[in-house]
Amino acid sequence: MEKIVALCKRRGFVFPSSEIYGGMGSTYDFGHYGVLLKGNVKAQWWRAMIGEREDIVALDSAILQHPRVWEASGHLEGFTDPLVDCRTCKQRFRADQLEEASCPRAPSKHPGEHKDCDLTQARQFNLMFETTVGPVKEEGATAYLRPETAQGIFINFKNVLAFARKKPPFGIAQVGKSFRNEITPGNFIFRTREFEQMEMEFFVPPEEAERWHSYWLEERMRWYLDLGLREDHLRLRAHGAEELSHYSSATSDIEYLFPGKDERSERRWMELEGIANRTDFDLRRHAEYSGEKLEYFDQASGRRYVPYVIEPAAGTDRATLAFLVDAYDEEVVEREGQGKGEGRTVLRLHPQLAPVKVAVLPLVSRDGQPELAHEVAARLRALMQTEYDEGGAIGRRYRRQDEIGTPWCVTIDHQSLEDRTVTVRDRDSLAQERVAIEELPALLAERLSAPWRSPKLAGDPA
Ligand code: ATP
């Protein structure tokens, strides 16, 4: 993970937030390439939810919602973590994660194991951030930053039914920021206090809930695999009865085998996405607390019922981290053009996820090459995210593009000026081919939309 963090900083994907003031624990700012990468992750999610099907509609609800929402949802009462304090070192730990924490006095031991440790009893601590709405901090104006996007969907169930002309089974999808006052955040952008979620609530007749739950487990696994994650680093894990949330009758997590903090620590299976059968809990509770009827009336059969909900809930930042980790590779290659071995770092990202699809590089910054390169870049820019880069040795410029995961580099050389051809370099195979400028836009557009299989999976059966 150290290497990913360093690459993200070096290449402008992700920076620690408020760095010039010494940082603000576990908050991060996304730079240019990070914004593009995360934007592509969200675009692929929207494509899978909305673009490729007809039974899901989009929503963007407010972050600040009526405080009663969180009473009805159970968050005010139950969205808590058990905490213990150490009276000796004054540190606070999650009681259910002591095995993963280390004692500040003896980092090889867990809290409670050192002879000086003096832990308190566990207390429940609510994870919602509280704020005050209005000019004066007075009673009655307390609001909460939403800890999940899902409730915004449930409270809009009636609105959506009225306009969307959908009947169960149908879904409402939303992407947006959520906030949790996590006690033990960390592991880079895996767990932060402010993060983005991609959640979809799929409303179904109660008797069909189990079948749809299985359906969404499969669909969501396929999404990660199609975008290039290694199959042997992904798994589904069903929650045991003691682990289920209060609203859920069945939940399975999609887990990814994330690397530890440094090379010495072991990889661990950690949650990427949870897929829950939320039953009719949320609609029933909001109906009870708001007095509104939240149900579906099927005119054809005359049946009236409260739908069950299947929820695939993913984290955008967590998925982005998994794609980065999975794509990261180091290898020794012949130095291009010179045959000497040298190391390179490369992000083997799915082309649809890569922040930049193509870089246009004049071999030298004179003799008319930059002008032609600008012309080529302008034509490609109309089709895909394109970068122009002119300074420095060509090998260094290729390495830079490798590190940000650019699948294709187009090089303009002296021959280009004579016959209007360019070379296209492939990020993964390093193969170079000569292509006419006229054919280049169509060729790259076709490659970008073609199904893609990562070279890291090449040995696997298809
Ligand atoms: P965890 O057990 O890791 O705390 P959770 O089960 O509480 O996660 P959910 O409430 O199911 O998480 O949220 C759905 C998804 O939102 C998670 O699978 C994860 O990808 C993302 N997510 C949740 N909390 C955070 C966080 N603090 N930082 C980044 N992503 C998060």
| Distance in angstroms (rounded) separating the CA atoms of residues 363 and 61 | 49
Q: What is the per-residue pLDDT for 134? A: 79
Angle between helices 2-10 and 316-327 (to 10 degrees): 100
Per-residue confidence (pLDDT) for residue 296, from 0 to 100: 96
Q: Where are the alpha helices (DSSP H) in 227-315?
A: 281-290
* Candidate from 197, 224, 255 with most ligand 1 atoms within 8 A of CB, to mutate: 197
322 lines ligand 1 (CB under 6 A): no
Q: What is the mean pLDDT of residues 360-378?
A: 96
First and final C-alpha spacing in the chain: 29
Three state DSSP letters for 301-366: CCEEECCEEEEEEEEHHHHHHHHHHHHEEEEEEECCCCCCEEEEEEECCCCCCCCCCEEEEECCCC
Calpha distance 454→38 (Å, rounded): 19
Residue 293 banded pLDDT, cuts 50, 70, 90: very high
Centroid of ligand 1 to alpha carbon of 98 (angstroms): 19
**CB count, 10 Å around CB of 365?**
11
Question: Does residue 192 line the site of ligand 1, with CB under 6 A?
Answer: yes
pLDDT recorded at residue 138: 63
174 CB within 6 A, ligand 1:
no
- How far away, in angstroms, is 191 Cα from ligand 1 center? 7
**Parallel, antiparallel, or unpaired: how do β-strands 92-94 and 123-126 relate?**
unpaired
Find the range with the poorest average confidence among 99-103, 233-237, 377-381, 432-436: 99-103
Rounded mean pLDDT of the chain? 92
Each residue's pLDDT tens digit, 47-64: 999 999 999 999 999 999
| Distance (Å) of CA 106 to CA 86, 91, 183 | 13, 13, 20
- Specify the residue with its C-alpha closest to ligand 1, atom 18: 273
Q: For residue 108, count CB atoms less than 10 angstroms from its CB and return exposed for 0-12, middle for 13-18, buried for 19 or more.
A: exposed
- CA–centroid distance, residue 180 to ligand 1 (Å): 9
Hey, whose CA ends up nearest to atom 11 of ligand 1? 274
* 369 Cα: distance to centroid of ligand 1 (angstroms): 49
Cis peptide before 461 (omega within 30 of 0): no
- 132-146, 175-189, 428-442: which has the minimum mean pLDDT? 132-146
Q: Model pTM?
A: 0.92
Quickly state the pLDDT bin for 266 (edges 50, 70, 90): confident
pLDDT tens-place string over residues 62-105: 999 999 999 999 999 988 888 898 999 988 888 888 887 888 88
What does the block give as tokens for 323? 């794609």
- Mean pLDDT for 168-180 is 97
- Ligand 1 center–CA 186 separation, angstroms: 13
Q: What is the pLDDT of residue 137?
A: 64
- For a mutational test of ligand 1's pocket, the pick from 28, 75, 318, i.e. the residue with the most ligand atoms closer than 8 A to its C-beta, is 318
Number of other residues whose CB lies within 10 A of the CB of residue 127 = 15
CATH superfamily of 337-457: Anticodon-binding domain (3.40.50.800)
- CATH class of the domain whose range is 2-73+135-324: alpha beta
Whose CA is closest to atom 16 on ligand 1?
315
Residue 304, C-beta contacts closer than 8 angstroms, at least 6 positions apart: 295, 296, 297, 298
Q: Is the pLDDT of residue 320 over 70?
A: yes
Q: How many angstroms is it from 315 CA to the middle of ligand 1?
A: 6
pLDDT digits (tens, 9 = 90+) for 148-171: 999 999 999 999 998 888 999 999
8 Å CB contact between 315 and 192: no
Q: Which residue's CA is the closest to the ligand 1 atom numbered 24?
A: 191
Lowest mean pLDDT among 131-145, 365-379, 448-462: 448-462
Q: What phi, psi does 196 have (nearest 5°)?
A: -105, 145
Q: Of 405 and 299, which is predicted with more confidence? A: 405
User: Which pLDDT score, from 0 to 100, does residue 460 have?
Assistant: 47
Would you call 449 exposed, middle or buried from its count of C-beta atoms within 10 A (0-12, 13-18, 19+)? Answer: exposed
Distances (CA, A) of 22 to 25, 31, 186: 9, 18, 17
Ligand 1 atom closest to 270 (CA)? 3
How many Å apart are CA 427 and CA 442, to the nearest integer?
Answer: 19
Whole-number Å distance between alpha carbons of 41 and 171: 20
Question: Which pLDDT score is estimated for 461?
Answer: 42
The 10s digit of each residue's pLDDT in 419-437 is: 999 999 999 999 999 999 9
Residue 462 has pLDDT above 50, yes or no: no
Question: What is the mean predicted confidence (pLDDT) over 128-150?
Answer: 85
DSSP string, 139-188: TT-EEEB-S-SHHHHHTTHHHHHHHH---SSEEEEEEEEEE---SS-BTG
Q: Please state whether beta strands 358-362 and 386-388 pair in parallel, antiparallel, or not at all (unpaired).
A: parallel
Please state, in angstroms and rounded to a whole number, the distance separating the CA atoms of residues 352 and 220: 17
Phi, psi (rounded to 5 degrees) for 38: -65, -35
